[in-house]
Structure formats: C-alpha cells, structure tokens
C-alpha cells in the first residue's frame, strides 16, 4: 500500500523504491525527493511491461526494505 511505503520511506528504511509510471507525476516527484535524501535506489516501471502492470494493479508503489522495522 502507498501508505505503508510512504511510512517506510519517510523513516529511511527503504533500500529500493518501485514506482509505476502510471502514478501522477507530482506524486512520483514527491516520493523521489524523499528517496534521494536517504540514498534509496529508485526504479520506474512502465505499465506496458508485465512487471509494470502488476505494480500498477498493486497500487503503483512497492519497496524493498533495508531491514525490517
């Protein structure tokens, strides 16, 4: 869920941030700014790929954590 990913991102726990290009550009830019502050790697997925379509169906956000919080 977006809420969970944002919470982990704001706490610096996200190692890799997965975003769907189908998200509004303002939302993408906002989370990318936070991710850059913590050195989080960012991957944008196009919805024209199977992986991107799956990510979009899951809400457009995903994360791989540095450690379990």
Identify which has the larger pLDDT, 63 or 68: 63
Given a cut of 80, whether residue 68 has pLDDT beyond it is no
pLDDT tens column, 3-30:
999 999 999 999 999 999 999 999 999 9
Token representation of residue 45? 């997925």
pLDDT-based confidence at 1, cuts 50/70/90? confident
Per-residue exposure over 10-22, b if at least 16 CB sit within 10 Å of its own CB, e if not: eeebbeebbbbbe
């Amino acid at each position: 869920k977006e809420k969970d990913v944002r919470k982990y991102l704001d706490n610096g726990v996200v190692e890799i941030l997965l975003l769907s290009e189908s998200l509004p550009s303002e939302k993408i830019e906002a989370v990318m700014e936070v991710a850059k502050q913590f050195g989080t790697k960012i991957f944008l997925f196009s919805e024209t790929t199977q992986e991107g379509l799956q990510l979009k169906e899951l809400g457009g956000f995903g994360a791989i954590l540095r450690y379990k919080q």
